Amino acid sequence: MTGTSSTTSSTSPNPTNSQKRERLPVNPRRNKVPVDKRKRVATACNNCNVRRVKCSGDNPCRQCQRGSRQCVYPEAVEKISVNKTEWEYLQRRCAELESQNGRAAHEQHLLSPVTAHNIPLASSPICMRADGQSHEDSSQPTEGRLLQDTDGTARYLGETSGATFLDNLKSFMFTIFPLAFHHSQPVPQAPGGTGTAFLSSVGRYQTQDSRPLQLPRGVDPTWLPSRTDMTAMLAGLRYFIQDGNGDFPSGGVFFWGDLSRVPLDLHASGSGSPEVDAQQQRHLAFVHTAFAFATHLGLTRPNSKLDGQLGETYFARARLLLGNPLDITTYSSGDVAVLALMALYLVENNRRDAAYISISTAMHISIMHGVHRGWSVDERGKRTFWTVYILDRWLSCLMGRPPTILDDAIRLVMPEDIPGMPPAAGLKANIELARISGYIVCSSYRVTQRGQTADRVECYLHRALELLSNWRANLPSTLQLPDDPPFTSDRACCSLHMAQGQLIILSVRPIFFMAVKKAVADWFVSGAWFIEDHPHINLIRSCSDAARRNLRLGRWLCGISPAGKLLLPDLHHVFNAAIVLMLHHIVFLNLRTGDVADIAFAIECFEREAETGSKYGKDCAKVLQDLWALVRRLRNLMIDGAGGAGVPISGEQILAGLSNHDGQAAFGGGQSGQGILSHAGVSQQQPQQHQTDGPLYQPQYQELATELATWINSDDMQFYNNFLL
C-alpha cells in the first residue's frame, strides 16, 4: 500500500471520522480470537463490515468486486496508553496553542495580507491544489509564451518548457547585443556559428506538429514482417525502452509488456481471412507501433531520417486497427499501452503536441475504467498505468502545461516484483521522480496555484531540491551511480539519473538566468560584477554541477548504446545541460577545464543527429553553435575588455539618465535610482543637467538603460511566478 498512503491523506478533510460513520461498532461480547485460529481476516473492508459478511481481505475484496463497489479499508491507527492526568494536560496544552495560533494568524493577516499564508515545509511531493484564495491583481501578466513553429502556428508553452526558457534567452541576447557590440555584426568567421540565426528567431521554436506524418493509405493491418525481422526489431526496442532484453538490473524505467514474444502471422500459416483478421487482431496495433518505433531507432546513417522512412507504414497499420481515438465505444483498457507507445514514437519524431494528446487520451481511458483506483487491474495493468503516469508528468514538464490527473486522485498501489516480469525497482524510482516533477511544475512554477509570495516560492524551491536529494540518497543499490564515470551498463539507470539532473536544472535555472542578467547589467553600469556574492551562489553552483554530470552521463550513454544512439529525452537533457554551462561561462571567471569539452560534445551530438536528416537535430545544433559564439564574444568583452569602455553608453551616462525625472518615472520613483547607484558602487555625485545629444537619449538606448536597471533591481523569486525573463 505504498502508493496509497501518500495520496489518500488529502482526499477528505477528516478521513478518520468519515470511516467511523461507515463502519459498525465493535461487538462488546466478542471474544478475541488468537491469530492462528482465525477463520476471518483481522480487519474487513467497510462494505463487508456494514453488511456483516465475510471479507476476503483482498483489495478489492471478492464481495466488493462482485458488487462493483469501491473497496475501502479503515486506516490502521496505533493505540497507546497514557494516564488520565497526562491526557488532561495534553488537552489543555493543545487548546492553549490553538488559541495562540489563531491570534497570531489574525495579526499576521492584518499586518501583511499578501504573506498571510502558511508555507508547507514538509508537504508531500504531489501537485498542490488551488485553494481558491487569490490575493493577486487580475491584471497580472500572462505566464508562459505563445511561440510559433516554422509554419506560423502558435502554441502555448509554459514556464517549465525549454522552448520558453530558450526564447527568454534569445530576448536577453537580443537586448544586450546593441550595447555590447555597438550595432556591429557578429563575426562572420566565428567557428561553428555566427549568432545571427539565434538572435533573429525570437518568438519561434522548432517542432513538426504542424506537419502530420506521411501515412500511406490502403495498408493491410494484419500483414507482418518475417519472424527474424520481428525478433530483431523487438529486441532492439526492448533494449532502449525497457529492460535491455533482461540485462538491466533496474528492470527498466518503463513497462511495455512482454516484448520478447513474437506475434503469430496468420497469413503465413494460412489460417483465417483478412476480413476476420482485421476485426479480431486489434492487439496487433501495439506490435505495429513497436515496429514503427524500432524502425526509427535504426535510422543512424546520413540522410536516413527522411519523410517516408520513419516507420510510417507500421504506424499507419496501428492507427487503422485502433480507429477513431474519440470513439469511446471501441476503446478498452488494453489500448492504453498502444496509445502510450504511440506518444513515445511521436516524441521521437519531434511531434510533442501530438504526443501530449495521445498520452492524455491514454490516461483518460485508464480513468474511465477505474484503473487509477485499482479496479480490476493485475500487475501488468498496474505497471502500464504507471508508465502512462510517468509519460504524462514528463510531457507536462516538457511543455509547461498542467498534468492530466492530480496525485490526490490516484489510489493505485505501486508495482511489485513478481515472477515472469522485469524487476520493479527502476519503474518505482521513475514513478517517485515523476511525482517530484509534478511538484516542481505545479508548486515552484505555479502552474496550478495562484497568489504565491517570494518567500513561499523559495520554500517550494528548497523543498523540491530536498526531495530530489532524498530521492537519490534512498535509491536501492542497483540504481546507485557515482558522480563520475565509469557508471553502469544499465542504460535505463543512466537515463533515470539524467532525468533527476534535469529537474535540478529546471528548479534552479530561473535564479541562474537572473544572476547572469544582473551580472551583465552590473558590468555595463560599473565595469565589474561579483557572482560569488550572490545570495544563491550555492544553488547556482549545484545547477552547474548537475549540468556537468548530465553531460558526462550523455557521453557515457553514447558509448554504451548501439551506434551511439541517444533517444530524444536524452538529447533534451544534453541540450539543456549545455545551455547551463554556457551561462556559467559568462559570469564565472575561473572555469573548469572540462566545461569547454563538454559543450563541444553537446554540439557534436546534435551535429551527428543533424547528419541523419533530423530537423530537430539540425535546429538544436544551430542554436548551440550560435549561442556558443555569442557567449564567447560576450565573455571576451566582459573579462578581457576594458571594463565596458567600448560600449556606446557609459556607466555614468546610464546612472545619470536613471536619476533624472524620466528615469525615475520608468522605475516608479527616485528610490529605485538610488538603489542602483548604491548597488553598482558608483559615486552618486553625477551631473544632473539634462543632455539631449548623447546616445543615452536616443530612444533605443533609453529603453535599454531602463531594461538594465530592471535586471539589477529584480527579485530572483518572482520569475517562478511570472517568468518575466
pLDDT band at 718 (very low <50, low <70, confident <90, very high): low
Last residue of a domain, one of 640, 660, 677: 640
User: What domain range includes position 534?
Assistant: 147-205+481-640
235-249, 610-624, 699-713: lowest mean pLDDT where? 699-713
pLDDT band at 278 (very low <50, low <70, confident <90, very high): low
- In this structure, the answer to whether residues 329 and 392 fall within a common structural domain is yes
Task: Please determine, for residue 351, whether its predicted confidence score (pLDDT) is greater than 80.
Answer: yes
pLDDT band at 665 (very low <50, low <70, confident <90, very high): very low
Q: Residue 199 has what pLDDT?
A: 83
Residue 579's closest CA among 595, 567, 593, 555? 595
The three cell numbers of residue 472 are: 537519490
Last residue of a domain, one of 471, 504, 525: 471
pLDDT band at 612 (very low <50, low <70, confident <90, very high): very high
Q: Mean pLDDT over residues 138-147, rounded?
A: 56
Q: Mean pLDDT over residues 470-491, rounded?
A: 95
Q: Mean pLDDT over residues 337-359, rounded?
A: 95
Q: Mean pLDDT over residues 622-636, rounded?
A: 92
Q: Residue 10 has what pLDDT?
A: 38
User: Is residue 216 assigned to a domain?
Assistant: no
- In this structure, the answer to whether residues 412 and 328 fall within a common structural domain is yes
- In this structure, the answer to whether residues 623 and 671 fall within a common structural domain is no
CA 147 to chain centre: 19
- In this structure, the answer to whether residues 201 and 231 fall within a common structural domain is no
Higher pLDDT, residue 390 or 91: 390
Higher pLDDT, residue 118 or 604: 604
| Cα–Cα distance, 584 to 513 (Å, whole number) | 9
Task: Please determine, for residue 340, whether its predicted confidence score (pLDDT) is greater than 80.
Answer: yes
The three cell numbers of residue 628 are: 556558443
- In this structure, the answer to whether residues 194 and 238 fall within a common structural domain is no
| Cα–Cα distance, 575 to 534 (Å, whole number) | 26
Q: Mean pLDDT over residues 128-143, rounded?
A: 38
Q: CB pairs under 8 A, 24+ apart, for 586-589?
A: 586/516, 586/519, 586/520, 586/631, 586/634, 586/635, 586/638, 587/515, 587/516, 587/519, 587/520, 587/529, 587/531, 588/531, 589/639
- Counting residues of the chain whose pLDDT is more than 70, the rounded percentage is 74
11-15, 547-551, 666-670: lowest mean pLDDT where? 666-670
Last residue of a domain, one of 583, 606, 640: 640
* Cis omega (within 30 of 0) for bond into 486: yes
Q: How much is the mean pLDDT over the chain?
A: 79
Residue 466 makes CB contacts below 8 A (sequence gap 6+) with none
Higher pLDDT, residue 723 or 467: 467
User: Is residue 217 assigned to a domain?
Assistant: no
| Cα–Cα distance, 10 to 18 (Å, whole number) | 13
- In this structure, the answer to whether residues 443 and 497 fall within a common structural domain is no
Q: Please, how many CA atoms are within 13 Å of residue 238, restricted to the half-sphere of its CB?
A: 21
Cross-strand partners of 148? 154, 204
pLDDT band at 124 (very low <50, low <70, confident <90, very high): very low
User: Is residue 302 assigned to a domain?
Assistant: yes
- One-character DSSP codes across 511-575: HHHHHHHHHHHHHHHHS---GGG-TTHHHHHHHHHHHHHHHHHHHHHHHHSGGG---HHHHHHHH
User: Is residue 137 assigned to a domain?
Assistant: no
- In this structure, the answer to whether residues 309 and 448 fall within a common structural domain is yes
Residue 242's closest CA among 424, 454, 480, 443? 424
Q: Mean pLDDT over residues 123-140, rounded?
A: 36
CA angle 548, 610, 156 (to 5 degrees): 75
Phi first, then psi: give them for residue 148, nearest 5 degrees. Answer: -100, 140
pLDDT band at 229 (very low <50, low <70, confident <90, very high): very high
Task: Please determine, for residue 415, whether its predicted confidence score (pLDDT) is greater than 90.
Answer: yes
Q: Mean pLDDT over residues 188-213, rounded?
A: 74
Higher pLDDT, residue 624 or 197: 624
Task: Please determine, for residue 15, whether its predicted confidence score (pLDDT) is greater than 60.
Answer: no
- Counting residues of the chain whose pLDDT is more than 90, the rounded percentage is 45
pLDDT band at 350 (very low <50, low <70, confident <90, very high): very high
Burial of 19 (0-12, 13-18, 19+ CB in 10 A): middle
- In this structure, the answer to whether residues 502 and 554 fall within a common structural domain is yes
- In this structure, the answer to whether residues 281 and 421 fall within a common structural domain is yes
User: Is residue 329 assigned to a domain?
Assistant: yes
pLDDT band at 269 (very low <50, low <70, confident <90, very high): low
CA angle 185, 189, 192 (to 5 degrees): 105
pLDDT in tens, 619-628: 999 999 999 9
pLDDT band at 700 (very low <50, low <70, confident <90, very high): low
User: Is residue 122 assigned to a domain?
Assistant: no
- The distance in angstroms from the start CA to the end CA of the chain is 43
139-143, 333-337, 603-607, 709-713: lowest mean pLDDT where? 139-143
Task: Please determine, for residue 250, whether its predicted confidence score (pLDDT) is greater than 60.
Answer: yes
Q: Mean pLDDT over residues 276-291, rounded?
A: 81
| Cα–Cα distance, 701 to 603 (Å, whole number) | 34
Among 113-117, 639-643, 718-722, the range of highest mean pLDDT: 639-643
Q: Residue 102 has what pLDDT?
A: 67
Q: Residue 570 has what pLDDT?
A: 97
- Torsion angle defined by CA atoms of residues 58, 60, 64 and 67, in that order, rounded to the nearest 10 degrees: -130
Q: Residue 128 has what pLDDT?
A: 38
Q: Residue 123 has what pLDDT?
A: 39
pLDDT in tens, 63-113: 888 877 889 988 877 778 888 888 888 888 888 888 877 665 544 443 333
Reported pTM: 0.75
Phi first, then psi: give them for residue 146, nearest 5 degrees. Answer: -95, 110
Task: Please determine, for residue 32, whether its predicted confidence score (pLDDT) is greater than 70.
Answer: yes
Task: Please determine, for residue 701, whether its predicted confidence score (pLDDT) is greater than 90.
Answer: no
Task: Please determine, for residue 659, whether its predicted confidence score (pLDDT) is greater than 70.
Answer: no
- In this structure, the answer to whether residues 467 and 494 fall within a common structural domain is no
- In this structure, the answer to whether residues 153 and 296 fall within a common structural domain is no
Residue 95 makes CB contacts below 8 A (sequence gap 6+) with none
pLDDT in tens, 433-460: 999 999 998 875 655 444 445 566 678 8
Domain count across the chain: 5
User: Is residue 129 assigned to a domain?
Assistant: no
Q: Mean pLDDT over residues 119-127, rounded?
A: 36
pLDDT in tens, 311-329: 999 999 999 998 887 787 7
- In this structure, the answer to whether residues 573 and 629 fall within a common structural domain is yes
Q: Residue 597 has what pLDDT?
A: 95
pLDDT in tens, 506-531: 999 999 999 999 888 888 777 778 88
Higher pLDDT, residue 577 or 639: 577
- Check if the beta carbon of residue 294 is closer than 8 Å to that of residue 236: yes
User: Is residue 713 assigned to a domain?
Assistant: yes
